[in-house]
Amino acid sequence: MNIIDPNEVEFTAIRAQGPGGQNVNKVSNAVHVRFDIAASSLPDHIKERLLALRDSRLTREGVVVLKAQQSRSLGANKADALRRLQEMVDSVAVLPTVRRATKPTLGSQRRRLEGKAKDGERKQLRGKITF
């Protein structure tokens, strides 16, 4: 497991959007998180897979930008942003299993052809009856 070092993450406190009354206007509790993938201490294969992601949170320069504003607490928002960043890294850390093509079995081929013949016969019987 590749744990992100919090020292490699840049936190910026900003004002949250949305409802919240006067508290929203005077307290900067939302967090912008910037994580430079190339400058991080992650292994190279994970860096490559992160940079290959087609994600709107990833800039052209290879920086992940997240915004956390769910909580009224700055600490909780920082923890939430770090958790989401870690989930992003964990998602590319697991290699997808390689699919190996196999041939259909003789029995499955036979059942498929029997089904097709049965369907064709049923459709043939739907035609006009001539005497």
CA distance 33 to 44: 22
What is 6-93's CATH number, 3.40.50.720, 3.20.20.140, 3.40.120.10, 3.30.160.20? Answer: 3.30.160.20
pLDDT digits over 8-40, tens only?
899 998 888 876 667 667 777 889 999 999 888
65 CB-near residues (< 8 Å, 6+ apart): 32, 33, 34, 57, 58, 59
Map out the domains of the chain as residue ranges: 6-93
DSSP string covering 7-67: GGEEEEEEPPPSS-THHHHH---EEEEEEESTTS-S-HHHHHHHHT---TTB-TTSEEEEE
pLDDT digits over 38-68, tens only?
888 888 988 899 888 888 888 999 899 999 9
Per-residue pLDDT band at 128 (split at 50, 70, 90): confident
pLDDT digits over 68-125, tens only?
988 888 899 999 999 999 999 998 888 889 999 999 999 999 999 999 999 999 998 8
102 CB-near residues (< 8 Å, 6+ apart): none
